[in-house]
Structure 1
Amino acid sequence: MEPAATSTDDDDSQLSSLPPNNDDHEVTDEDIAGLLRQRPHTVPHAEILRAVYDRVNDVSSTLRTRALAILTDCVASERPPMKEALRVFRIFFSFLFYLNKLFYFIFINY
């Protein structure tokens, strides 16, 4: 008995989502916004910053050093998205710090 032949329509399946390729079709802001909405897998800067921060206490000294160097560059950055990520990062860790103090206070007093 021979195995059934499989069909691979990879080339054709990708063509349906692409805009027509002609000179009359211009890419508009709406097209770009639509494409950006189709990419929900993008990660906010603060999430990347948190992931780098998590590597500061890694067992590998090389990884710790690289994480500290990256964080230093991030803190020195003048780019608005990075400044916003640092602001979110500070708020989050301030919250964790005070939450930790609250739990410690409750634990000691009871």
Structure 2
Amino acid sequence: MNYQVPPPSNLHALPPEQIAFHRTELSVILSIYGRFVAAGEWRDYGISCLREVAIFSVFRRTAENPMYRIEKRPKMRDKQGMYSVVGMDGQILRRGHDLKTVLRVLERKLIRAVD
């Protein structure tokens, strides 16, 4: 008697992959977020983990559009870099391969002249 292997079923199919921030990436992002919260500039944040992109959104107030979006797109890794900072109007402020250097565009806004 011959034994046949049953065809694979879709019952055990893996869920679609989600892109997410790693713990080290989140620590860098939350470090700069904490400094802006201490300065009174930012009040809330949101994290979205989608199929092609992970987004860390920063809000001045809870019920408004995000001021900045920090995005991670692994498909852009070999091209212009997988990290980007996007402004409120949708303009990409900075893009690169290293998260710390990309976030420097935000740190410049934190520096103020002291009287």
Q: TM-score range by the shorter chain?
A: under 0.3
Greater relative contact order (Cα 8 A, min sep 6): structure 1 or 2?
1
Structure with greater helix percent: 1
**Which structure is higher in strand share?**
2
Q: TM-score normalized by structure 2?
A: 0.25
Q: Output the TM-score relative to the length of structure 1.
A: 0.26
